């Protein structure tokens, strides 16, 4: 899907004040680090860097708005290239029209997309086109695909990760063929899904892991799922993760927001807005977690949780589009095609729905009793009523005119 929204962290681009040493935010220094990739220089550039960040774009038109949008994206890439200059990452752009042959060779067909070439892998960046988000994404990508856990404190840190999918396996050593299969499987999902491993018996005991076993953790769930039939091949782990990649409750994250939004169920999303830092938002999120845990076996249910604090540039857009107030918790069903939506009536922040009430509302959504099409029909009926009233009014005027004519006669 072509990206139509442009997000830029203004703090990075507009900061020009002198700050105390140690708090100097980077500003673009004017040096060109992003190069145009062509068939002629492709092999040379590829040899120079261990990883390439590649922006595949349509030819820049004469339209001034389009030119400015392109320039802003180019500056974001230049700033990221500047910040990560000490890393072996190359930043390039490919013109879809001028380099059509190269694009076809690389398998690119979606203009406006950002790709990362790492070894024999091509990873599409499906997140917010902002300097800070992209820097964090690339730094995660250059790390090892599997993080090793060796101590009880690291176990505590692992257990605190609750809002994203994670896997952990117990293996004899890094030389184990089963660990190598696990590591290769992790590369398929890096950096979107976190893979962890331990070679420590004490850690394995605390996490109830058996030798060569891998446990899968769905976001916000109390219990993990052991992947069946251990030991596993790389393909078996990849297949299992893909089958369970859509959680019952998932957080919309800046680094993969478009991928999440495109993964709808029958053209709709059940969307919940809640600020975790706000007491009411926190309470509502806890209710959502309970609903998700009670319905984790329902393949037709997947709730997208959005914390407005993660997307400050989108708050006004969402409030206008969905006609809701994001200063309080909300849950609704959204049609991804036209953004039509229907929202549960929550009259008061102090009277949030119970888990049972929320489940009843969700059941009505899944059964079709509550849907965005009904809202369209109601609007259509209102328009028809207005038209009928106009017609009736016109008929009355005509009758009045006829009566006047009779009187004159």
HEC secondary structure over the chain = CCCCCCCCCHHHHHCCCCCCCCCCCCCCCCCCCCEECCCCCHHHHHHHCCEEEEEEECCCCCCHHHHHHHHHHHHHHHHHHHHCCCCCEEEEEEECCCCHHHHHHHCCCCCCEEEEEECCEEEEECCCCCHHHHHHHHHHHHCCCEEECCCHHHHHHHHCCCCCCEEEEECCCCCCHHHHHHHHHHHCCCCCCEEEEECCHHHHHHCCCCCCCEEEECCCCCCCEECCCCCCCHHHHHHHHHHCCCCCEEECCCCCHHHHHHCCECCEEEEEECCCCCHHHHHHHHHHHHHHHHCCCCCCCCEEEECHHHCCCCHHHHHHHHCCCCCCCEEEEEECCCCCEEECCCCCCCCCCCHHHHHHHHHHHHHCCCCHHHHHHHHHHHHHHHHHHHHHHHHHHHHHHHHHHHHHC
Angle between helical axes of 355-367 and 279-294 (0-180°, round to 10): 60
- pLDDT, averaged per 10 consecutive residues of the chain (409 residues), comes to 40 47 87 95 93 95 92 96 95 95 92 94 95 97 96 96 97 97 97 97 96 98 94 97 96 96 94 96 97 95 97 97 96 96 88 95 95 65 51 50 48
**Going edge to edge, which strands form the sheet with 89-95?**
35-36, 89-95, 51-57, 113-118, 121-125
Write down the pLDDT at residue 404. 47
- Whether the CB-CB separation of 74 and 93 falls below 8 Å is answered with yes
| Residue 374 C-beta-side C-alpha neighbours within 13 Å | 9
pLDDT value, residue 124: 94
Compute the distance between CA of residue 278 and CA of residue 337 in angstroms, rounded to an integer.
31
In this prediction, residue 10 carries a pLDDT of 43
Name the nearest CA neighbour of 53 among 124, 112, 133, 111: 124
Q: Of 345, 343, 353, which Cα lies nearest the Cα of 280? A: 353
pLDDT digits (tens, 9 = 90+) for 162-192: 999 999 999 999 999 999 999 999 999 999 9
What's the confidence (pLDDT) of residue 375? 57
Omega of the bond leading into 17 within 30 degrees of 0 (cis): no
Residue 22 exposed, middle or buried by CB count within 10 Å (0-12, 13-18, 19+):
exposed
Beta-carbon-side half-sphere exposure of residue 314 (alpha carbons within 13 Å): 18
Fold annotation for 249-367: Glutaredoxin (3.40.30)
List the one residue out of 62, 63, 67, 41 whose CA is nearest residue 52.
Answer: 41
Strands 166-170 and 214-217: antiparallel
Domain range summary for the chain, segments of one domain joined by +: 35-142, 146-244, 249-367
Instruction: Judge: domain 35-142, CATH 3.40.30.10.
Output: yes
Separation CA 91–CA 108 (nearest Å): 16
Q: Which CATH number fits domain 146-244: 3.40.50.2300, 3.30.1340.10, 3.40.30.10, 3.40.50.880?
A: 3.40.30.10
Q: Residues 325, 316: contact at Cβ < 8 Å?
A: no
- Which residue, among 41, 154, 142, has the nearest Cα to 93 in the 3D structure? 41
The alpha-carbon radius of gyration of the chain (Å, integer) is: 27
Q: How many of the other CB atoms lie within 10 Å of CB of 210? A: 11
Q: Give the pLDDT confidence score for residue 20 in this predicted structure.
A: 64
In this chain, the answer to whether the domains covering 146-244 and 249-367 adopt an identical fold is: yes
**Dist CA 349 CA 328 (whole Å):** 6
Instruction: Give the Å distances, CA to CA, from 61 to 36, 103, 208, 216.
Output: 17, 19, 59, 48
Q: Are strands 194-198 and 225-226 parallel, antiparallel or unpaired?
A: unpaired
The distance from CA 175 to its chain's CA centroid, rounded to whole angstroms, is: 35
Please tell me the predicted confidence (pLDDT) of residue 7. 39
Give the distance from CA 150 to its chain's centroid. 31
């Amino acid at each position: 899907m072509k990206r139509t929204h442009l997000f830029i962290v203004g703090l990075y681009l507009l900061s020009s004040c002198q700050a105390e040493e140690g708090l100097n935010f980077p500003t673009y220094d004017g040096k060109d680090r992003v190069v145009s990739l062509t068939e002629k220089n492709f092999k040379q550039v590829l040899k120079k860097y261990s990883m390439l960040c590649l922006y595949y774009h349509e030819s820049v038109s004469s339209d001034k708005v389009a030119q400015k949008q392109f320039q802003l994206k180019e500056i974001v890439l230049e700033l990221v290239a500047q910040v990560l200059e000490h890393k072996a990452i190359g930043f390039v752009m490919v013109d879809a029209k001028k380099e059509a042959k190269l694009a076809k060779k690389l398998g690119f067909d979606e203009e406006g997309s950002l790709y990362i070439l790492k070894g024999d892998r091509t990873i599409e960046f499906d997140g917010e086109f902002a300097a800070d988000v992209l820097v964090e994404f690339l730094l995660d990508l250059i790390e090892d695909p599997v993080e090793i856990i060796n101590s009880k404190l690291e176990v505590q840190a692992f257990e605190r990760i609750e809002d994203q999918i994670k896997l952990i396996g117990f293996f004899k050593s890094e030389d184990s063929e089963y660990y190598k299969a696990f590591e290769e499987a992790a590369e398929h999902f890096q950096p979107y899904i976190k893979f962890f491993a331990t070679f420590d018996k004490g850690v394995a005991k605390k996490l109830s892991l058996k030798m060569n076993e891998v446990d899968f953790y769905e976001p916000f769930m109390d219990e993990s799922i052991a992947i069946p039939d251990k030991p596993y091949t790389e393909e078996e782990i990849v297949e299992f993760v893909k089958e369970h990649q859509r959680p019952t409750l998932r957080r919309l994250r800046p680094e993969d927001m478009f991928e999440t939004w495109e993964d709808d169920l029958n053209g709709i999303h059940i969307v919940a807005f809640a600020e975790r830092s706000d007491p009411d938002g926190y309470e509502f999120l806890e209710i959502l977690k309970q609903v998700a845990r009670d319905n984790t076996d329902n393949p037709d249910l997947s709730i997208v949780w959005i914390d407005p604090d993660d997307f400050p540039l989108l708050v006004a857009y969402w409030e206008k589009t969905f006609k809701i107030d994001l200063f309080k918790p909300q849950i609704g069903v959204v049609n991804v095609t036209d953004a039509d939506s229907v929202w549960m009536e929550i009259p008061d922040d102090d009277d949030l729905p119970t888990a049972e009430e929320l489940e009843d509302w969700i059941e009505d959504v899944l059964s079709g009793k509550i849907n965005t099409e009904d809202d369209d029909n109601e609007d259509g009926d209102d328009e028809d009523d207005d038209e009928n009233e106009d017609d009736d009014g016109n008929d009355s005027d005509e009758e009045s005119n006829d009566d006047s004519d009779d009187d004159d006669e």
